[in-house]
Amino acid sequence: MAKKVVYSLLACCLLYFLVQSVQPHVVLASSHDNNVEWNGLFSDQGPLYDSALEPTCSTAITLSLRTFHYDATSANIKYYDTADSSFHWVAMSFSNTDATQRFDIWKGTIPASCSIKYYRFQINDGTATAWYNAAGPSSSEPSSSDFYVLPNFSTPQWAKNTVMYQIFPDRFYNGSTSNDVQTNQYSYLGYPTEHKAWGASPVADSGYSNSTVFFGGDLQGVDQKLSYIKKTLGANSIYLNPIFTSPSNHKYDTQDYNNVDPALGGNSAFSQLVSDIHSSSNGPAGHVVLDGVFNHTGTWDQWFNEYNTYPGVTGAYQSQSSPYYHYYTFQQWPNQYSTFLGYTSLPKLDYGASGSAVRNAIYGSTSSIAQYWIRQYGVDGWRLDAAQYADAGGNNGSDSTNHQIWQEFRNGVKSANSNALIFGEYWGNANSWTNGSPSQWDSATNYDGFTQPVSEWITGKDYNGNAASIGVSQLDSWLHGTRANYPTPVQEVMPNFLSSHDITRFGQRAGGDIWKTYLAAFMQMTYVGLPTIYYGDEYGMQGGADPDDRRTFDWSQGSTSNSAVALFQKLISIRNSYSALRTGSFITLATDDTNKIYSFGRMDQNNRIAVVLNNDSTTHSETIPVYQLSVTDGSQLTDKVSGQVYTVQNGQVTVSVQGHYGAILVQ
C-alpha cells in the first residue's frame, strides 16, 4: 500500500513537470481548488478584450476574459439574443498566459448577426462558479448590467479623441463692440436690457432682469481666442450654448432658429468661426457642437408671435387659423398653453404624430433646422436641451413618443452627417435613450456618472453646493455602477464636466482651493469619456448658482502663467498622446480610504497606464499593484507629469503623490 502511494506521488510530480515543460517558467498565481479568485477576473469592451466594439451585421465578435493563471477549469459566454428572445452559450477556450505569467486569457466568439445582444461570463473552477459582467464579479448569475452588442451602432470617433470646451458666448470675449446690446435698448418680459462692464457681477441691478444683462461677448470674440483654446489648452472641439436669435442673454427662449443672433455676430460671424474651428492653421483641426433647444420656443418666436415680433407672420398666439397653431398645445387659446416647467415665456412644442409639420421643421427634411446647420454651415453635432421633455399633446416626455422623436431626430441628423455627435441633457441614468434599442442619442450630459461623484469626493459638496461627501471606495463603486449603465461606445463620448451653466462652479465648491481644481483636472483628463471644460474652469473660476455661474472670463488668467491653465495644458497633451486614456480599458487598482488615494489603470495594445490620485491635503505614498495591468517585473513606468521613473518589483510600484495632485505612470 505504501508503494502505491509513492508511485502515485511520483506520477503526479511527473505530470506537473510535463505541464510546466509546455509552459516554461510559469508562476502559478492560483490553483484548481474549487474557488474562483475574483481579484484575477477582468474583462470589458476595450480593444484588448473585445475584437469589434462597433460591429456590423456581418462581424463576429471575439471576446476575451482574464483569470488568474490556472484558476479556471472552464469558462463560458452566456448571451441573450433579441432575435429569438433566448439565451445562448459559447464555450471559451484557453488562449494564452499574459506577459507576467500571472493571468490566463480565455477567448470565445459570438457569431455575427444584426440583432442586439447582451452578454455575461461564467467562470468555473471545479465545483465553484463565478459570474462577470459590466458590474464586475458576482457569486450568483446577474440579471442586469450585462455588456452590450449593438450591431450597426457607433458613436463618432472624433468625439472619443477630443477635448471639448463649452462657451457661454456673451461671457467669453467681446470681439466686436459694434454689436453690443446697450442698456434700455429694448424690453423683454417687462424688463429693459442692461449692458454691464466686463468683470462686473452678472446679477442684474435693481429694475433689470438677470436674463437681460449683457456684457458683449460674441462669436467674433470666440474666433479671436481660438488660439488660446486650441493651442494654449489643446482643446479642439467647442460646444456653444444657444446662439440663435433670442431676446435673452442665455437664448434658451428661441426667437428664430434660422439665424444667429445679431448681438453674437450673426450668420457671417458664425460661418467664419466654424471655418476657423475646422482649420488646422490655428491649432489642431476641431469640431463645433450647437445647443439645440427643441423642446420649446420663446413667445417671441415667429411660430408663436405673441408680441407681433414678425408683423408679416400670423403666429399661433394670434390666430387659431395660423399655420403654426398646431405647433403648440393650447388648453384655452390664446393664454393657456403647455409650457416648459411652467414658464409662460417658453411655450412647449407639440411634435404630434410621425411626419407632423413640427417634426419636419425641426429634423425631418433636408431643410429642417437640425439638418440645415449641418449641411450649410458644417456643424458637427447637437446638444439637446431639456431633451427628456419633448413630446406631443402637451405631455412631459420620457415616454414612447419622446423616444420616437429622438430616434427620428437621429436618423435625420445622421443622414446629414453620419459623424455628427448627439448628446442629450439628462441629469440621471440616460440608459433608455442610449441603449441602442432603438438608437437615439450618442450620449448624455454626465452629471450622474462624473460631475456629481467627483464633486462630492474632492469638494465635499454636491454640484449645487450642498454638503455631501464620499470616500474613495464609495467613489469607485459609484463610477463603476454608472459606467455599467451604458454601452461602451456611449461611455466613451459622455461629456465629463466639472461645471456647467446650470450648476455652481467647481471652483466655488472647492472654496477657492486651486489644488482641488488640479486634482479634478487629473481625474477629468484620465477618466472614461469626453472631457468638457466649461470656460474658466481651467483657471478655477468661481461662481454660485445661476446667473453667478455665468461670469465673464478673466483674461488676465488666460495663459500658462496661471498654474492651473498650465496643468490643464499638460494633462490634455498627455491625454492626446495615449489612446489608452481615451478608449482603453479601465480597471481599479487601489482604493485607500485612509489616505484618500484612488488609483486606476487604463490599457490598450499600445500602453499600460496607472493613474494615482491623492485627495488628501498632505503627501502620501501608495503601493500600486501594476501587475493588474500585465506590467512585468523589471519594466519601468514614467510619470508623465513629474518625469519620475519607477521600476516594477514583485508586480508593484510605490508612488509618492503630493496632496490634491496626481501621477500618470506610463509604460
Q: Catalytic amino acids?
A: 385, 425
Distance CA 421, CA 425 (A): 13
Task: Take residue 608 and report the three cell numbers written for it.
Answer: 499600460
- Strand, helix or coil for residue 176: coil
Q: Are 220 and 564 in contact (CB under 8 A)?
A: no
Q: Are 527 and 493 in contact (CB under 8 A)?
A: no
Task: Take residue 361 and report the three cell numbers written for it.
Answer: 421643421
Rg (CA), the chain: 28
Q: What H or E segment, with its residue span, contains residue 340?
A: strand 339-340
Tell me 45's DSSP state.
Answer: S
The DSSP string of 391-448 is BSTT--SSSHHHHHHHHHHHHHHHHH-TT-EEEE--SS--HHHHSSTT---SEE--II
Cβ density class 261-278: b for 16+ within 10 Å, e for less: bebbbbbebbbebbebbe
Strand pairing partners for 68?
103
**Tell me, what amino acid is at 642?**
S
**Tell me, what amino acid is at 219?**
L
Distance CA 160, CA 575 (A): 11
Q: Exposed/middle/buried for 73, CB within 10 Å: 0-12, 13-18, 19+?
A: middle
Q: Are 251 and 127 in contact (CB under 8 A)?
A: no
- Dihedral sign computed on CA atoms, order 226, 227, 233, 237: positive
Q: Please enumerate in sequence order all residues whose Cβ is within 8 A of that of 10, keeping only pairs 6 or more positions apart, or say none.
A: none
Alpha helices for 492-592 (secondary structure H): 506-509, 514-526, 563-577, 580-583
Q: Are 135 and 484 in contact (CB under 8 A)?
A: yes
Q: Are 572 and 235 in contact (CB under 8 A)?
A: yes
Cβ density class 638-667: b for 16+ within 10 Å, e for less: ebbbeeeebebeebbbebebbbbbbbbbbb
Task: Take residue 546 and report the three cell numbers written for it.
Answer: 445661476
